[in-house]
Amino acid sequence: MKPLETDTDPRVVGPFELLARLGQGGMGLAYLARWIPQDGLDAEQAAAYHVVEPDGGSGTPQSRLVVVKRIQPQLLDAAQARQRFAREIDSIAAVVSDRVPALRGAAPEAAEPWFAMDYVAGPSLHTMVKESGTFPVGPCAALGLALVDALRAIHGTGLLHRDLKPANVVLGPDGPMVLDFGLATLIEKRTSQAITGPGEAWGTWPYASYEQLHHFQDAKEPADVYSLGATLFFALTGRPPYPDHALPTPPSWNGVPPEFRPLLGQILVQAPSHRPDLEGLELGLYDLLAQADLTADIAVGQLKARVKTADLAPELPPEALTDHVEPVVRELARRAIDSDVTPDTPQGGRGPAYLPDADADAFFDFIDTDEIERAEADDAQPGVPKGNTPTVVQPPVAHPGEAVPPPADAAPQAEPEAIRTPTDHPPQSPRPSEDPSPAASQKPPRAALRVAERLREAYAHGGSL
């Protein structure tokens, strides 16, 4: 977390006061911000902004903290960049889950588009493991169950995440949360109209499945399952399963507890059909908890205690901990609202303001190949470019009789046959524990339900989907 750059960063964005910089990538800028209550905000403006108050009215200062994302200034004139930005907003709004931050506001058609979602006060899984060490069986199983819940909610809306990795999992006070829907796409929209061509891929290489890297248009739910398994592998070992060699060779199981090897052996395979689905993965996690004489509740408690002890949550600026808002800031927010909401916006906007006019098929199949930044490869070979969005991977070409090793930024190469589960740890039949997942029994927050209801209404009246 860094101070604002006063020469370039605005003081307010819509009804939110920017407090600090959280990071930036080739596509966008992310800020810590707080919601400024606007007594005079009428229904039309609230609908156009898709503004949702935190549960419980005004709440505490911390409950009003959000992450505001904006498009990089140099991309404001790129129509495709705006479409991709709007797609991310749509994806966040569609998912109702305690494992995904709720959308709090958006203005994708403003002169400088932005959206706001709940701020999660905690370290990323990548930071947690690197700074505090790897996870034992209990906390890692609790992490896995939370990620299953997140993917179940995402897939339940017909979406794929496509970039699940340690850097996109935040360990907050209420458990793990999944972030970054910049690459999310509708499962049923994977058609021949997709722009991605042969030999191209999207995803962060050490955590992306074989089909996502080599047959992008065929990637479905099993691709996210693979990424979940690779993320758990990192939590257990501090490294991705395949940091520097091709997928069809088994990963090194050094550092992986014996309880986890059979389940991960089923997930980290080349053939999507050989991987368990989310239900099978969940049963496998309960099974290994039972082998370790742990319940889900105990494992969740162990994970929370570990995160609390690590004390790696970013330190908040003083303004984030107070209710006081300077009058000049409140006035700036009001002016920003008036300038962003256009006079001809009908009541409620065009459905939610984050829905584009573009044809749905082309919109959800859009890939911005000109403006996208290089992917972050957390533990790839030295020299791999870093970034916050996925890399376009071009596999090397092997000439007859010549063995070409994969370069540092290359996708894993195909082999004549699919990888098999390591023979020294054969798959086991998972059996469920009697302890239900705590996350599964929780009701979605009211604010998130309101978000989903607005989206469903927009879809029902729009006719484009």
Active site residues: 163
Using CA of residue 429, residue 208, residue 254, residue 171, what is the dihedral sign?
Answer: negative
Tell me, rounded to whole angstroms, the distance of Cα 68 from its chain centroid.
15
The answer to whether 433 and 296 have CB atoms below 8 angstroms apart is: yes
Match 């503004």 to its residue by tokens. Answer: 51
| Token pair in block for residue 440 | 């599964």
Q: Is 118 helix (H, G, I), strand (E, B) or coil?
A: strand
Read off the DSSP letter of residue 124: B
Q: Residue 462: in which H helix or E strand, if any?
A: helix 446-462
| Token pair in block for residue 368 | 């911005």
Match 């053939």 to its residue by tokens. Answer: 271
- Report the amino acid identity of residue 408: A
The number of CA neighbours under 13 Å toward the Cβ of 395 is 21
The answer to whether 30 and 24 have CB atoms below 8 angstroms apart is: yes
| Token pair in block for residue 367 | 């890939």
Read off the DSSP letter of residue 2: B
In whole angstroms, what is the distance from residue 372 CA to residue 368 CA? 6
| Token pair in block for residue 334 | 């009001």
The answer to whether 81 and 368 have CB atoms below 8 angstroms apart is: yes
Q: Residue 325: in which H helix or E strand, if any?
A: none
| Token pair in block for residue 322 | 């107070």
| Token pair in block for residue 352 | 């939610």
The answer to whether 143 and 176 have CB atoms below 8 angstroms apart is: yes
